[in-house]
Amino acid sequence: MSTDAPYHDFVPPHRVLMGPGPSMVHPRVLQALSQPLLGHLDPVFLGLMNEIQASLRATFQTQNEFTIALSGTGSAGMEAVIANLIEPGDRAIVGVNGVFGTRVATMIERSGGIPLPIESPWGTPIPVEALHDELVRSAPVKAVVLVHAETSTGARQPLQDVGALCRSHDALFIVDAVTSLGGMPVDVDGWGIDACYSGTQKCLSCPPGLAPLTVSPRGMSAIRKRRVPCHSWYLDLSLIAEYWNDHSRAYHHTAPISMLYGLREALRLVHEEGLAARAARHQWNSEALLAGLQTLGLAPLPQAGHRLPMLNCVTLPPQIDENTVRQQLLQDYGIEIGGGLGPLRGRVWRIGLMGESSQQAHVFTLLNALEEIFTSHDWLSQPGLAVQAAVATYTHSEGSARRSP
Ligand SMILES: *Cc1c(COP(=O)(O)O)cnc(C)c1O
């Protein structure tokens, strides 16, 4: 018997996923993923695709006919939107206040476009007035791209007034809703968004692998009127539309069948709970967590009013060796949280309460673990305050966030 052949079972250890994604997945979704396969043109499978489109429209709050789940993770959604809507020579304004805005700018450049970055300090939203000024100064501008929920900083970007502004300058409005969708309102039609992409692994609580995506009729017409075909064949939305369109169903690439089973079930869970109740649950759990963390000396990076409920980015007191504590959380308690990226490396933690991970039990588990670890390092004189502060917050919000699946 060969000892180096991997003939043993792989059993992942139990983890409480409280990082920046992936989030925990409901057992019903795991079960859906293990169902027998259908062909990608089987009428039963095509029916399932139609159901997914209808649930995605409800989740994005849009009537857009072109609303699909693209093969690939959230970054594939980002790349598809940029590669299809930005043609060589197009100018596109992009809000840059973290990792993901920076990634969008890179993709605009690689598509031959000219990124016009509007920068804000990490953790601070992009001011709408700055977008207005740049639209005037750099006209004509093809598109404005904003990241709704900047996962690298925990900052929430206000979007309400941007759609009308873009329309008055004949620019398309593109939004990254990878982390926000399923955890806070994303009102595609109400906010005048022309293209919005997301990912399955954050607040939708499905494994990574699909990118929900919706494009307005204005956006689709810009794609159809391109001067040159999209440089990416795989992500060419005009070709992909022919497969999702119920009247053509033309083969483009084989749909990831099992992932779509999983997404259907994840969306069913979203709508069983209801978008408003789900957003409220994310909000309450975040408030309780932050109240507890504050007693440990961990303060939220973004200002009040600009914080994300699903991604709590907190700064650390200088005496704390963040990497040691993070490894201890993982090894001894089975809890995953995220460290800082780029300029925030070593200075912050990013604690995700996304989708199924956003539970009162997880808030208490993490606060208890941190109190124990901090006490063992002599960083804490009076243990118990963090949990008390969280309890007080829940009591205050009348316990409405108490959902344990
Ligand atoms: C996670 C994330 C992405 C990228 O998604 P992947 O699934 O990692 O490809 C893009 N934008 C934001 C805001 C994200 O949080």
What's 328's domain CATH number?
Answer: 3.90.1150.10
Segments of the chain with pLDDT less than 70 = 1-4, 398-405
pLDDT at 396: 84
pLDDT at 365: 98
Query: 47: which strand partners?
Result: none
Q: What is the span of the domain harbouring residue 292? A: 275-400
Q: Please tell me whether residues 80 and 120 are part of one structural domain.
A: yes
Q: How far is the CA of 249 from the centre of ligand 1 (A)?
A: 29
pTM: 0.96
Take residue 282 and report the two structure tokens written for it: 């994310």
pLDDT at 7: 81
Mutate to test the pocket of ligand 1, among 82, 100, 203 (most ligand atoms within 8 A of CB): 100
Give the closest residue to 204 by CA, choosing from 221, 232, 179. Answer: 179
pLDDT at 405: 41
Q: How far is the CA of 102 from the centre of ligand 1 (A)?
A: 12
Mutate to test the pocket of ligand 1, among 70, 73, 106 (most ligand atoms within 8 A of CB): 73
What residue type is 1 in one-letter code?
Answer: M
pLDDT at 6: 73
Q: Count the domains in the chain.
A: 2
- Domain assignment of residue 168, yes or no: yes
End-of-domain residue from the set 271, 292, 321: 271
Which numbered atom of ligand 1 lies nearest the CA of 179?
15
Read off the DSSP letter of residue 288. Answer: H
Give the closest residue to 79 by CA, choosing from 240, 224, 225, 242. Answer: 240
Q: Please tell me whether residues 244 and 289 are part of one structural domain.
A: no
- Domain assignment of residue 9, yes or no: no
Q: Please tell me whether residues 241 and 290 are part of one structural domain.
A: no
Q: How far is the CA of 183 from the centre of ligand 1 (A)?
A: 14
Q: What is the crossing angle of helices 275-295 and 360-376, to 10°?
A: 10
Q: Please tell me whether residues 332 and 267 are part of one structural domain.
A: no
For ligand 1, whether the C-beta of 291 sits within 6 Å is no
Q: Please tell me whether residues 266 and 279 are part of one structural domain.
A: no
End-of-domain residue from the set 208, 241, 271: 271
Q: Please tell me whether residues 223 and 307 are part of one structural domain.
A: no
For ligand 1, whether the C-beta of 116 sits within 6 Å is no
Mutate to test the pocket of ligand 1, among 150, 179, 181, 196 (most ligand atoms within 8 A of CB): 179
pLDDT at 102: 97
In which region does residue 260 sit, left (phi positive, over 0), alpha (psi from -120 to 50) or beta (all else)? alpha
In which region does residue 271 sit, left (phi positive, over 0), alpha (psi from -120 to 50) or beta (all else)? alpha
Q: Please tell me whether residues 211 and 263 are part of one structural domain.
A: yes
What phi and psi, each to the nearest 5 degrees, are found at residue 92? -135, 125
pLDDT at 4: 67
For ligand 1, whether the C-beta of 177 sits within 6 Å is no
Q: Please tell me whether residues 313 and 261 are part of one structural domain.
A: no
Q: Please tell me whether residues 34 and 147 are part of one structural domain.
A: yes
CA-CA distances (angstroms) from residue 63 to 59, 147, 193, 216? 11, 22, 12, 8
CATH no. for residue 155?
3.40.640.10
pLDDT at 401: 46
Q: What is the crossing angle of helices 237-244 and 74-85, to 10°?
A: 120
Q: Please tell me whether residues 265 and 279 are part of one structural domain.
A: no
Q: Please tell me whether residues 297 and 202 are part of one structural domain.
A: no
Query: 307: which strand partners?
Result: 155
End-of-domain residue from the set 271, 291, 309: 271
Cis upstream peptide for 302 (omega within 30°): no
The tens digit of pLDDT for each residue in 163-192 reads 999 999 999 999 999 999 999 999 999 999
